[in-house]
């Protein structure tokens, strides 16, 4: 049973009655997301009052050592009842001491009960695999191998030192006897010294042979164990993947519009391990389901932190990267990979019911809100230039991403807008990419099979693409050929992202055909036909001295200092074979500059 706590359970009455209230305290953080229906940025604050409630929960946890045994994220949600009274919900991430349902805490998102038996058996298998891997890593043959190997290495080193001294002595003897002996006597003595040298070589080879004979049986056992460990890790990864897939298909989230979706529907292109088990989704789902109005939320870490990556209820997934250790008692925001992608859906319908934001926040908007307010395309529909049952092509405007970025401020994209506009867009996928500042034809597939078929055409260079650009200068008569091919390998320096550079050693092959259209008013119009699809390929091939030597107008990243409103690069034409209709499709749009 979930307990709706009084505020006094966690904070004193003085805090509630003085200057810190939900309407006039300035938030230190916002849980944010774009509404899938409207594209509106929705926000739920973490206020000083919410943090004070969370600190009260920390003090409660600190009194019981059971909560310090395993580190995890905890959270509180300040809610308003239909009567207007304020109450507090509390939640933990994953399982608490092996259980998902604990009295007084928000339960897991519905769906776990459907896979609880699979989860139990999977965790037993994972533990068995873990113990078997530990046993294989601690084989006595490994320490025996190391001990024997070190012993032989010591003997070989001692022998090498002795042989080195003998060799020097023989060298000295050769010089000496060459001065005092002659003919047969000299020849005999030299043969004796050569024979001593050969005996040293034989001795060394015999010791190495003894070493190999002693180590080979142990090495076979170790190699067999290592192969078994690799296979067990592979099994562990697959078991974890299968369990997570079942969980994600079963988990069903509800938002404040009353709409329900599974995790797979919300994140069709892959879900990081642990998605849906964090505090924020559990708290918001419960509030929406029980008609509770969220006012503020706060999440914090409590207990030890091992710094491991994503887990299935404590079982670290093989291959997950190690993360920085969490700090007990520190407040954290929504995790980028698991919670942030769900926020827009979970908060949908909240703003119309909950006017949490005040006028004092308007001068302190988040980066995501600033982006929404300054982008003129944020609420406009896309211009669709082709659509059928399998494919859709749009005229992407400059300043809009092809697909959502990783962080909150760059979620607006062609893909996210189409996902909101189209009624059956669960599996829509961008087949290729255009740079954010490049305009023109962007092709997307409506199902995974079509995506795979079209992607193969791109990979095998069966798709014909034409771009047109204006260069920020006039090509001289010496360098301006009518047409040609630029072949410059491109490399993305990891220390200077997203900048690409020509690098003969590390660069990937990059080919671009070009054709001069015209030179006018100290500008050059160029048609580009990329034969490969590297990041920023046309921009670098235009700007680099080994290419055309003039940056594209508006391309500040690659050296254009001319003031202009946009990058003058446009994807004008796209030719490909329709995988279902078996027809040649030729898309073409006008240049907007």
Contact 280, 300 (CB under 8 A): no
Structure tokens at 424: 């059956």
**Cα–Cα distance, 106 to 92 (Å, whole number):** 8
Q: Which of 390, 530, 538 is nearest to 461 (CA)?
A: 530
Contact 466, 572 (CB under 8 A): yes
**Cα–Cα distance, 90 to 106 (Å, whole number):** 6
- 477 to 208, 526, 564: CA distances (angstroms): 71, 15, 26
Q: Dump the DSSP string for 391-426.
A: EEEEEEPTT-BSS--SSGGG--BHHHHHHHH-TT-T
Backbone φ and ψ of 311, nearest 5°: -130, 155
The position carrying tokens 């079982």 is 315
The kind and range of the H/E element at 157 are helix 140-180
H and E: helices and strands count for the chain: 13, 22
The kind and range of the H/E element at 500 are strand 500-502
Q: Strand 439-445 to strand 569-577: parallel, antiparallel, or no bridges (unpaired)?
A: parallel
Other C-beta atoms lying within 10 Å of the C-beta of residue 549: 14
Residues involved in catalysis: 435
Return the exposure string of 2-27: e unless at least 16 CB atoms fall within 10 Å of the residue's CB, then b.
Answer: bebbebeebbeeebeeeebebeebeb
Burial class (CB in 10 A: 0-12, 13-18, 19+), 473: middle
The kind and range of the H/E element at 520 are strand 511-520
**Cα–Cα distance, 415 to 36 (Å, whole number):** 12
The kind and range of the H/E element at 192 are helix 183-250
Q: Which of 397, 514, 523, 499 is nearest to 465 (CA)?
A: 514
């Amino acid at each position: 049973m979930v307990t709706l706590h009084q505020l006094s359970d966690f904070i004193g009455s003085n805090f509630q009655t003085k200057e810190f209230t939900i309407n006039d305290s300035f938030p230190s953080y916002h849980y944010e997301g774009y509404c899938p229906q409207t594209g509106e940025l929705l926000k739920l604050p973490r206020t000083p009052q919410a943090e004070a409630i969370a600190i009260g929960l920390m003090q409660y946890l600190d009194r019981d050592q059971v909560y310090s045994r395993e580190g995890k994220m905890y959270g509180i949600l300040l809610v308003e009842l239909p009567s207007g009274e304020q109450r507090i919900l509390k939640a933990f991430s994953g399982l608490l001491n092996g259980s998902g349902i604990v009295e007084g805490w928000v339960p897991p998102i519905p769906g776990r009960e459907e896979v609880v038996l699979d989860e139990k058996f999977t965790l037993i298998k994972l533990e068995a695999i873990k113990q078997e891997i530990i046993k294989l890593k601690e084989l006595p043959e490994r320490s025996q191998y190391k001990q024997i190997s070190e012993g032989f290495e010591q003997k070989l080193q001692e022998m090498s030192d002795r042989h080195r001294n003998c060799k020097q002595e023989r060298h000295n003897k050769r010089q000496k006897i060459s001065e005092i002996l002659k003919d047969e006597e000299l020849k005999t003595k030299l043969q004796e010294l050569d024979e001593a040298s050969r005996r040293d070589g034989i001795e060394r080879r015999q010791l190495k042979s003894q070493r190999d004979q002693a180590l080979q049986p142990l090495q076979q056992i170790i190699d067999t164990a290592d192969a078994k460990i690799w296979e067990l890790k592979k099994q562990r990864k697959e078991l974890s993947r299968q369990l997570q897939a079942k969980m994600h298909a079963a988990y069903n989230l509800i938002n404040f519009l009353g709409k329900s979706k599974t995790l797979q529907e919300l994140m069709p292109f892959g879900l990081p391990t642990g998605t849906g088990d964090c505090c924020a989704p559990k708290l918001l789902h419960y509030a929406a389901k029980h008609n509770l109005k969220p006012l503020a939320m706060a999440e914090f870490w409590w207990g030890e932190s091992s710094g491991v990556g994503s887990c299935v209820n404590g079982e670290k997934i093989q291959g997950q990267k190690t993360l920085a250790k969490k700090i007990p008692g520190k407040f954290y925001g929504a995790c980028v990979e698991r919670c942030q992608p769900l926020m827009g859906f979970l908060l949908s319908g909240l703003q119309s019911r909950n006017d949490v934001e005040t006028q004092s926040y308007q001068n302190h908007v988040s980066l995501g809100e600033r982006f929404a307010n300054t982008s003129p395309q944020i609420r406009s529909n896309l211009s669709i230039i082709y659509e059928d049952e399998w494919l859709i092509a749009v005229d992407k405007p400059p300043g809009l991403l092809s697909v959502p970025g990783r962080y909150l401020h760059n979620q607006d994209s062609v893909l996210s807008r189409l996902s909101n506009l189209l009624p059956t867009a669960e599996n829509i996928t961008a087949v290729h990419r255009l740079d954010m500042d490049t305009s023109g034809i962007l092709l997307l597939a409506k199902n995974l099979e079509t995506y795979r078929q079209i992607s193969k055409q791109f990979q095998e260079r069966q798709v014909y693409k034409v771009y047109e650009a204006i260069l920020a200068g006039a090509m001289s008569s010496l360098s301006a050929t009518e047409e040609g091919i630029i072949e410059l390998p491109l490399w993305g320096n990891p220390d200077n992202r997203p900048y690409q550079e020509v690098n003969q050693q590390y660069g990937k092959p990059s080919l671009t055909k070009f054709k001069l259209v015209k030179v006018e008013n100290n500008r050059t119009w160029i048609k580009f036909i990329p034969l490969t699809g590297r990041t920023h390929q046309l921009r670098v091939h235009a700007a680099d001295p080994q290419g055309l030597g003039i940056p594209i107008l508006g391309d500040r990243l690659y050296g254009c200092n001319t003031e202009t409103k946009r990058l003058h690069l446009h994807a004008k034409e796209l030719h490909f074979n329709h995988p279902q209709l078996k027809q040649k499709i030729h898309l073409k749009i006008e240049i907007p500059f």
